[in-house]
Amino acid sequence: GAVVSQHPSRVICKSGTSVKIECRSLDFQATTMFWYRQFPKQSLMLMATSNEGSKATYEQGVEKDKFLINHASLTLSTLTVTSAHPEDSSFYICSARIQIDIDTQYFGPGTRLTVL
Amino acid sequence: SQQGEEDPQALSIQEGENATMNCSYKTSINNLQWYRQNSGRGLVHLILIRSNEREKHSGRLRVTLDTSKKSSSLLITASRAADTASYFCATPQGSNYKLTFGKGTLLTVNP
């Protein structure tokens, strides 16, 4: 159990376009989801915390107008990279957490974004 | 700033040998977690050790925690080529229990 999926797994887009990444908890309801960014050979950097039905909380230095997060249901959170530029190319990973077990986060497989 | 700092940054060993990775952190914690990441993939939760525990085992994994030194170690015994991956420690912080990850150790197990 506790499977988290991400879609798409890979996306290549032109500079200036917007890209939406979906994060779904497949067999549980996630009250909280997290979005991370990871550059090659580096660690995960938390971008934002997303609670169902409320606005996301962004980490310092993360532009909320650039990275739009929507957590409309208990099983789905989306990250939209608006007006993408080459420097936005990265590996984006989401995770989901169940309220009754706040210690454990379940991670999605990640989305590789390449902006040309 | 990074809460967890792993060392070494990279470790290369032969199959069958043991691999030890260390993690240090800065603030007080409720628990510390270890994750594995295969290249280009998501993270897999390996083991969680609580602040009142000193040692924990799971299969070939052994984790220790020394809260006085603010450090933890992950030992993988009898390593296999399939253990090749990056290993990260992480600590939950704040009211949202968000995880802060260390820089990770890239483990390569040569067959």
Residue B87 has pLDDT above 60, yes or no: yes
Give the residue-averaged pLDDT of B23-32: 90
Write B93-100 long-range contacts (CB < 8 A, 24+): B93/B3, B93/B27, B96/A32, B96/A49, B96/A51, B96/A57, B97/A97, B97/A102, B97/A103, B98/A34, B98/A46, B98/A49, B99/A34, B99/A46, B99/A95, B99/A105, B99/B33, B100/A46, B100/B2, B100/B3, B100/B4
Of B107 and A104, the structure prediction assigns the larger pLDDT to B107
pLDDT computed for residue A2 by the predictor: 80
The per-residue pLDDT for A51 is 87
Partners of residue A57 in chain B, C-beta under 8 Å: 96
pLDDT tens readout for residues A82-110: 999 999 999 999 999 877 777 788 999 99
Query: Using the beta-carbon criterion (under 8 Å), do B40 and A91 form an inter-chain contact?
Result: yes
B1 CA to chain A: closest CA distance, Å? 10
Question: Tens digits of per-residue pLDDT, A34-74?
Answer: 999 999 888 999 999 998 888 899 999 999 999 999 988 88
Give the pLDDT score at A1: 64
Contacts of B41 in chain A (CB under 8 A): 109-110
Q: Which residues of A touch B43 (CB under 8 A)?
A: 44, 93, 95, 107
- Is pLDDT above 50 for B2? no
For the cut 50, the answer to whether the pLDDT of residue B1 exceeds it is no
Optimal mutation site among B9, B96, B107, interface A, most CBs of chain A within 10 A: B96
